[in-house]
Structure 1
């Protein structure tokens, strides 16, 4: 028997508006703090859908956003897909040539853009690449001085529309969203999300086995809304009937602390560097964090020291999660299993620092270079393969990448992992980042986590540098904390590594830099450092320690 309602996004908005009409959507914007209710939100989303229809947007057309995290951007999350169009969130931090490729590839018809990002978008506009674009809409109540044309402001765009809309019944396979991978190793790859994929992902993130979101929560996504739909939180928060808090453009640690304190935020989410910055702010400033119950950390590995500090100093539970653009994105969350709360604190932190347990509804395999599944013993490495109802099985118009990254309905993630006896996934490295020295693997991620545990290290990354004899050797790039002596930190970093790993894992050199290069999504960009030191100058003439592996 088929249910009367398909697995689509609109019922989440309908439920929030009818059951939780007075719950708020709060947003920090360039125009100040705004707030309104789900009931008002429903009306504005209907106005947006009407405006899009009047502009000629039809089912299957792509509507793009070039925006930060705020209420108007959130209105597109339901307004665009619920009318049958496809929401395409563009990362404004990408280089111009990537933006041009993405807009041309997606054939976007309308682009919504923040006032502060209008100059960036205008600089990327190319007559051929943007040939499909018919309208720019600035997310404001008036049009700023801009070279974008034709252009209008958001409030004028929706102003004359009714607050009700005749929403269509959509099929579950209707494309609802689109996001492109960052493309650090080539052209960005488009990932389409159907209505059913986003519905399934939303339902999977709500229970305690995932992110544990309920109507009493106050959720603040710091992870950008252009980055895999802010990890799905705008949809999950709405489905739960919880309060939304959006931090707006480029929030500082002070902005985040103020929003947590004043709006009673119970859960927030973002990459590790955001929370390192918040901890540094809290070290020097008073702020009431008592409402905050949990932080979702993803994007890159959460240092154990960050988990410990939030736990011990602020009674905040850090949930380490992992996912991918291709997975809508949540795949694992590091919850403790029943009984593990009795383990020693350090053993608990060890589990919580892993990427965690697979979300219900997904399946996984760990495969070695020969295609064989590796045992779950916490030691053997392999590439993680996943499949499930919110995992894509192909890229948009990229048959070359499809052949490389998929095996039937399995997504080959490119992440090298171990899985322990309890089923906890631990990412050892990206396949392209793992360091092979003397025929043996060295995990750059594990080295980074150990080095960043040092109090005098602000950031650190480890890359493999070519070596004539050993193929590759690790080199650590370290951003020291302010006012520390580099020689002392270098010595202590080496000692830290040698306590935990074989001597041949010890970086051949520790290089101090001002900042670790980052990708457009805030992850460490190792490619920049590899290219910079590809001449092997840092490790020339050096050799691993005496217990290095033999040549293969």
Structure 2
């Protein structure tokens, strides 16, 4: 016997309809590519998304055709998102920081029919246009611009297109398992791979990140997604903001610390989200300007482990609670978020802080396990000590990559993340390392993440990466690649001495290399592959 309840498919268009109907006057603040600010609201975002949906329909696209975006976090990008997915097309967000060869590969692999772009990326479009034969239309996200028209023959202009269309549009209904959006992995080894999300998976993920035990989002919030919309859909926050009716502050291209401090203080941001490298710049800028970041109640850190010193700085200097989260492109991305349980109220402040350093626990909808590194399906204990391969399954987890006939899952249906981690009895996840970044010294494993966190806890170190360097006796030994803070006079030996009471003697790095910059991926993670290529033999010289 089945239940006698209404059935409505879980569709992304329902989010923008809800936001318009019940939160229409809630502000959307957008910093444009030219530095100007556009103030709009959910009503106008919805109306323009319907105008653009009409424009896309007029181009003759068919259901599930891919429409790519190469754009910053701004109001036009937001409008186009809802227009594309809501119409039954696939919104393919592209990371513009990839190599041109990878951009060409991604556009061709996805068989994008339309590419939307911000002016910043005009040179990229000029470079890839002749190599992307599937693309039928290039659309500039702005008003008519003669320079753009001269550079890209037959280019269309977003503002012109929506001005020609009506805001009357009936969002179509279709199967909730229809593809909604497409994100590619960063491609640090080999070509990027496509993760194709569905409307159903996206809506369930949106519910999950709004929960109090996840990111705790509501209509009270003024949300600043510093994480780009081309990085796993800004971790789903533009969908969540529509679901709960939150104010969005979209930062555009200015992701430097000073620009972010200005936006936070001017628009009273309550929650901001980004990777650790973003927060390093923000903390430095706030200290320099004297800002107290008074409106900020919490910040969400993901993408890589949050250094303890950074978490302490937010809490002690700005009374801002840091939510440590974990996920990846293949998980939509949320896999865990760190919120304490009722029983933890009995812990001391130091004990609570130590618990908050973990990546948190999975929300309903996903499950985590760790397995033996030699046998990928032999499940290990959730005791907080035993480490192994981190695997995940759930409602918004990939089962195969775009265009691949083979499954991406283990023989018993789990996705192996490539992370090494522990889980405790409450499900709190602590990442040790990426499996490819672990350092095997004399047959024993050393976590590069732990050594990086220690280095970045030193007041004279602005950023640090730890890599495995080849060693003639021990196979591999840790080497620190570090950036000093301005005016710092710290020496190599002083930083090595800093480790002496924090890790076992055999885990102390063999060498420190001071550099002016550390290469980052397009999503702000340290590019250790490049560092290994450059410094991986430094102990042999």
Give the TM-score normalised by structure 2: 0.96
The answer to whether residue 526 in structure 2 is matched with residue 529 in structure 1 is no
* Alignment correspondent of 2:402: 396
The answer to whether residue 62 in structure 2 is matched with residue 22 in structure 1 is no
Alignment of 1:106-185 (within 5 A): 106-127=110-131, 130-146=132-148, 147-185=151-189
The answer to whether residue 503 in structure 2 is matched with residue 501 in structure 1 is yes
8 Å CA contact retained: 1:137, 1:157 = no
8 Å CA contact retained: 1:384, 1:413 = yes
* Alignment correspondent of 1:471: 475
Alignment of 1:162-311 (within 5 A): 162-311=166-315
Post-superposition CA distance 1:240-277 (Å, at most 9, x none):
01111101113322221121112111111001111111
8 Å CA contact retained: 2:23, 2:245 = yes
Which consecutive aligned stretches of 4+ in structure 1 deviate over 6 angstroms post-superposition? none
Residues in 2 aligned to 1:462 and 1:250: alpha-carbon distance in whole angstroms: 29
SS of structure 1 residue aligned to 2:364: coil
Match of 1:453 among 452, 457, 460: 457
* Alignment correspondent of 1:546: none
* Alignment correspondent of 2:54: 50
1:297 Cα offset (Å): 0.6
* Alignment correspondent of 2:539: 539
Residues in 2 aligned to 1:521 and 1:108: alpha-carbon distance in whole angstroms: 22
Post-superposition CA distance 1:350-378 (Å, at most 9, x none):
11111111122111110112322222222
Residues in 1 aligned to 2:216 and 2:298: alpha-carbon distance in whole angstroms: 10
SS of structure 2 residue aligned to 1:18: helix
Post-superposition CA distance 1:34-66 (Å, at most 9, x none):
011211221111001000000111211000000
1:347 Cα offset (Å): 1.9
SS of structure 2 residue aligned to 1:64: strand
Residues in 1 aligned to 2:317 and 2:351: alpha-carbon distance in whole angstroms: 19
Q: Which runs of 5+ in 2 are unaligned?
A: none
Residues in 1 aligned to 2:191 and 2:405: alpha-carbon distance in whole angstroms: 13
Residue-pair matches, total: 533
Residues in 2 aligned to 1:159 and 1:281: alpha-carbon distance in whole angstroms: 40
Between stretches 118-127 and 263-272, larger displacement belongs to 118-127
Residues in 1 aligned to 2:343 and 2:76: alpha-carbon distance in whole angstroms: 44
SS of structure 1 residue aligned to 2:454: helix
Alignment of 1:327-346 (within 5 A): 327-346=331-350
8 Å CA contact retained: 1:136, 1:149 = no
Residues in 1 aligned to 2:66 and 2:468: alpha-carbon distance in whole angstroms: 41
Q: Which runs of 5+ in 1 are unaligned?
A: 542-552
Residues in 2 aligned to 1:424 and 1:346: alpha-carbon distance in whole angstroms: 17
Post-superposition CA distance 1:280-330 (Å, at most 9, x none):
111111335221111001111111111111111111111010100001101
* Alignment correspondent of 1:100: 104
CA 1:313/1:342 → structure 2, altered by over 3 Å: closer, same or farther?
farther
Post-superposition CA distance 1:452-488 (Å, at most 9, x none):
110000000011012232221111111111112242x
Between stretches 163-172 and 384-393, larger displacement belongs to 163-172
The answer to whether residue 438 in structure 2 is matched with residue 434 in structure 1 is yes
Give the TM-score normalised by structure 1: 0.94
Residues in 1 aligned to 2:123 and 2:287: alpha-carbon distance in whole angstroms: 36
Post-superposition CA distance 1:85-144 (Å, at most 9, x none):
0000000000000000000000001101001111122223343xx111111111111225
8 Å CA contact retained: 1:209, 1:360 = no
* Alignment correspondent of 1:10: 13
SS of structure 1 residue aligned to 2:480: strand
Residues in 2 aligned to 1:352 and 1:495: alpha-carbon distance in whole angstroms: 27
CA 1:131/1:357 → structure 2, altered by over 3 Å: closer, same or farther?
same
Residues in 1 aligned to 2:334 and 2:115: alpha-carbon distance in whole angstroms: 27
* Alignment correspondent of 1:380: 386
- Say what the alpha-carbon RMSD is for the aligned residues: 1.5
8 Å CA contact retained: 2:54, 2:166 = yes
Residues in 2 aligned to 1:260 and 1:449: alpha-carbon distance in whole angstroms: 27
8 Å CA contact retained: 1:134, 1:150 = no
SS of structure 2 residue aligned to 1:284: helix
Post-superposition CA distance 1:169-206 (Å, at most 9, x none):
02111100000001001100000000001011001111
Residues in 2 aligned to 1:124 and 1:450: alpha-carbon distance in whole angstroms: 42
Residues in 2 aligned to 1:153 and 1:181: alpha-carbon distance in whole angstroms: 29
The answer to whether residue 61 in structure 2 is matched with residue 35 in structure 1 is no
